[in-house]
Amino acid sequence: MKFFVIYRQNDLFIEYMSVIICALESLGHEVEQQVFAANVESHEIKRWIESSKAKFMGCKWLLDDTCWSAFPYNEGGKFGITSSISSRIDTIFNEAVGRIILGELYDQETFNEGTSINTERIGRAFSLAVKHVPESEHPTRVYIDKHCICDHAPFNSSNTNSSKAASDVKEWLVAGGIPDEAIQIIEEGVLLSEIDQQGYWFIADRHFAHTRDFNFQNARMLRLPFVNFYEDIQGVALIGIGSEAIKAVLTEIIEEEFRQG
């Protein structure tokens, strides 16, 4: 099978794309690449795709999100070749980091926002994510805001109140290595400008208006529910993950997904 790999360059891809290419080739796939410089605009990528599509219609496509979004639609979808797009490069990287951080908990159930989600499971995933944050990036102070905290799983059941939910989040942080004395649950209104300090974390549900309206310059905003918390903290946790671990898991994913039958 021939794969055509298209992406716009960035620091992550500079370090790791060769691992994906080598893994594909080791499985017996032919690989051709189109790599755009980091400063190339989306409209330029789109123009190139439109002028080159006929050449690569017999390939499987592997694209990053930037190049995927540059594909124009027609009546058959994206050039009518949606079924030929095997995977998104960004999805593969996200899965690699997720497997390292969350292990067996990296699955759809953990990121589900439904009411049936297991509180204990989310607590374990929450603590694992925090444990992967390097000590150099640990907060000196954490504020947990109770506003809207019960709007999402696992706290949106009838037997949970905001105080209990905030206490659970505090327990998960402590289990992840954040000192108990560094964590404060906000009971009443507080000026977010006073919290916006270097080394501080502010944790609140994404429905809380200030998670959308206040632009923190120094403190780190971490949104709930877990799917958003993980999204916000993933980049910080990535700092503490060794490159060899990422390369190994990337290879594992490619071998699982693209091994020829």
Q: Specify the pLDDT at position 77.
A: 47
61 or 230: whose pLDDT is higher? 230
CA distance 35 to 30: 16
Q: Specify the pLDDT at position 27.
A: 95
CA distance 157 to 222: 22
Q: Specify the pLDDT at position 189.
A: 66
CA distance 185 to 217: 21
CA distance 19 to 127: 30
CA distance 118 to 96: 24
CA distance 31 to 127: 39
pLDDT at 174 over 90: yes
CA distance 90 to 132: 20
Domain 2-97+242-258 classified CATH 3.40.50? yes
Percent above pLDDT 70 for the chain: 90
Domain locations along the chain: 2-97+242-258, 114-224
Residue 55: exposure state from Cβ atoms within 10 A (0-12, 13-18, ≥19) = exposed
Which element (helix H / strand E) includes 77? Answer: strand 77-78
Give the confidence band of 99 by pLDDT, cuts at 50, 70, 90. very high
Percent above pLDDT 90 for the chain: 61
pTM: 0.83
The region, left, alpha or beta by phi > 0 then psi within -120 to 50, assigned to residue 187 is alpha
Q: What is the pLDDT of residues 68-78, one digit of tens each?
A: 888 765 444 45
